[in-house]
A and B are shown apart, each in its own frame.
Chain A
Amino acid sequence: MTSSETFHVVTTELVVGAFSVAGLSFTLCLLVHFGVLKQPSWKTMLDNVAHFTLAFGLAATPFAILSGLSSSPGEGMNSPILVNKMFLSMTGFGFALGCLIGRLRLGNKVWSNTKSTAVHASAGLAACGSMLLTASAGGTFTRGESLLDLFNLPYEHVLLFPVFVSLTALLLGTAMLAIGWRRMKSISSIH
């Protein structure tokens, strides 16, 4: 029987690995789009790699979050680092979800102009960054040190909104998702 600690290590390695490759691919996509990297033939490949790895990382993220909760010492969220990990991973999850839904619904049009490309690649990179920060917080929690310690990130402080603010944000986010979904439907139905 695999312990939750081991399972958490496995799933986090999958998540971090997948999101890192996705982040690298999004960066290269940006460089190709802006002509810094003069390899237009790579764009399709990089686009595929970025989104497949993002989808894979996204699929593994819930397992990482749940196994992380069950493997943390003590009961529940007894450390500010754990809370920040939860916030960061869910934010990364949101960025990745938005990025993937956009790519699935809009197809190649996400790369159609500079603004859209910038938004799409930034979302992918933000997802990657959030997940790497989550992993860094995990390292700080278990080992007391992390590679990103040189930035003195305030993992010990939690920015917790009042419930009504969170509730409003949740409703606003849901509304934005619904509006975006409808607009995507109308855009994609033209073709």
Chain B
Amino acid sequence: MQVKSRIHTVLILSLLLFCSAFGAAEPGGNGDSIRDMQCGGACHGDASINESSSALLSLSSPDTIYQGIPTTITLTATNLETSSTRLIGLFLLTDMTGHSDTPQDAGWEILSDSNGGTANYIELTLSPGQNETSISWVLRSSSLDPSTFYAAIHHGGGSTSPFFGSSADGLEVTPEPVPENLPRLAADFIPPTKRILDMPTELTVLTEYTESIQFEWKTENGLVQTSEINSSGEGSWVASLPAALQPTTIQWRVTLQGEGPDQTTPWFTLAAEQAGWEISENAVYLQAFALLFMTAGLVILLQTRFSSSRTISKYDQTPTVIEALETASSPVVLPVESTESSLAPLPEGGLPNGWTEQQWEWYGHDYLAGKYGGGAE
């Protein structure tokens, strides 16, 4: 019998262990974010369970990159094979050690990614039949130190295994000092990445050493349009963009003219999304604490009510005292029961199998009455 139950236990545990393989990784993705190559210890980064991706990744950048000036790094991924969700996650990294490997760790600031955020890890859903894609990040270096960029990919596949791949070679980038009087975006200018749906957008661009400026933007279908941009002060320009009716992205860039050679900025991505959801936080916290106190109070109140409805202490002789007071005319002599006499007599053969003395003390009578623990059998 014991052997049988052990076999059952082993079978159940084995089944649970096998089930874990089906739940490996996160087929629904993890969302765009700043992530290291191992994605915080995700299954894709675990060499013991992952499989190599067949994807080919290559990075490219402009020939000249200036310190503090936004630049574009483009990742081209080909030969893509994915699971039925067609979801892939792409990384831009500055190291392949698996930790402290984001561009931020190497002194680069991500100003924009292809999805309208500022993440080094972004997720894409490929179209049916699509087996290659190209995405870009706009970054700005804070130092002149050379950096090497790498790309990595996480995705699913035909099997349940998580797939992992990385670029074969790194892209070496060495920022140069900015030439004097070069028209440029202001060093403290951070391009917006989000705008609200159904509202025209006033986009403010801050520049340095710039005398005139042209503004271009394009929709997801690639149609490039120009918009008027007006000066709103020293080094400040304002462009108007039409309202977005759908949660889509557009890209914009400016061409700067001044004493130095003309400069065209990278394409910055601007995503339209629903207006932020707002709620009074004080009301939320107040209600949360009210729920805490109400539930705790309710449980305690019910507990005391039902626990005190039947006092089971062996020392409680209140009924005996009341009975004696009512019936006796002579001085009351209270019968004092010993602790042992209030206990249920042990059945023949001693305590039932598996019972402790303390349990017998509390439940012995119920056992003998057949109300508890199989005593009637």
Interface residues of A (CB under 8 A from B): 5-6, 9, 35, 38-41, 43-44, 74, 76-80, 83, 86-87, 90-91, 93-95, 97-99, 101-102, 106, 108-110, 112-113, 115-116, 119-120, 123, 126, 142-145, 158, 160-163, 166-167, 169-170, 172-177, 179-181, 183-184, 187, 190-191
Known contacts A158-B279, A181-B300: A169-B312 contact under CB 8 Å: no
C-alpha gap A110/B313 in the complex (Å): 13
Q: B292 contacts A190, CB within 8 Å?
A: no
> Shortest CB–CB separation between residue A83 and chain B, in angstroms?
5
- List 19 interface pairs A-B (beta carbons < 8 Å), by A numbering: A40-B363, A74-B276, A78-B276, A78-B278, A87-B288, A87-B291, A94-B294, A113-B307, A115-B309, A116-B307, A143-B30, A161-B290, A163-B286, A170-B294, A177-B293, A177-B296, A177-B297, A177-B300, A191-B315
Q: B299 contacts A99, CB within 8 Å?
A: yes
C-alpha gap A13/B282 in the complex (Å): 28
Q: Which of A6, A109, A113, A180 contacts B301 (CB 8 A)?
A: A180
Query: Which label, helix, strand, loop or mixed, suits the secondary structure of the B interface?
Result: helix
When C-beta atoms are compared, the residue in chain B nearest to A38 turns out to be B374
Q: Which of B281, B298, B299 contacts A76 (CB 8 A)?
A: B281
Q: B359 contacts A38, CB within 8 Å?
A: no
Most chain A CB neighbours (cut-off 10 Å) among B292, B310, B359: B292
Contacts A166-B290, A184-B303 known; list 4 others, CB within 8 Å: A39-B354, A86-B285, A172-B294, A175-B297
C-alpha gap A162/B291 in the complex (Å): 14
List B205-255 residues whose CB lies under 8 Å from chain A: none
- Across-interface contacts of B302 in A (CB, < 8 A): 119
- Across-interface contacts of B303 in A (CB, < 8 A): 98, 102, 106, 110, 116, 119-120, 123, 180, 184
Q: A170 contacts B310, CB within 8 Å?
A: no
C-alpha gap A83/B299 in the complex (Å): 24
C-alpha gap A175/B301 in the complex (Å): 10
> Shortest CB–CB separation between residue B252 and chain A, in angstroms?
23
B304 interfacial by beta-carbon distance below 8 Å: yes
B373 interfacial by beta-carbon distance below 8 Å: yes
When C-beta atoms are compared, the residue in chain B nearest to A35 turns out to be B372
Q: B283 contacts A166, CB within 8 Å?
A: yes
- Across-interface contacts of B105 in A (CB, < 8 A): none
- Across-interface contacts of B277 in A (CB, < 8 A): 78-80
Q: Which of A41, A91, A102 contacts B355 (CB 8 A)?
A: A41
When C-beta atoms are compared, the residue in chain B nearest to A42 turns out to be B354
Q: A173 contacts B359, CB within 8 Å?
A: no
Number of A-B contacts (CB under 8 A): 197
Query: Which label, helix, strand, loop or mixed, suits the secondary structure of the A interface?
Result: helix
Q: A40 contacts B354, CB within 8 Å?
A: yes
When C-beta atoms are compared, the residue in chain A nearest to B289 turns out to be A170
Most chain A CB neighbours (cut-off 10 Å) among B29, B282, B286, B293: B293
Q: Which of B288, B352, B355 contacts A90 (CB 8 A)?
A: B288
List B153-182 residues whose CB lies under 8 Å from chain A: none
When C-beta atoms are compared, the residue in chain A nearest to B362 turns out to be A108
Please list the 10 inter-chain residue pairs (A to B) with the smallest Cβ-Cβ separation, ordered nearest first: A98-B299, A173-B293, A176-B297, A94-B295, A180-B300, A41-B354, A169-B290, A173-B294, A102-B303, A98-B296
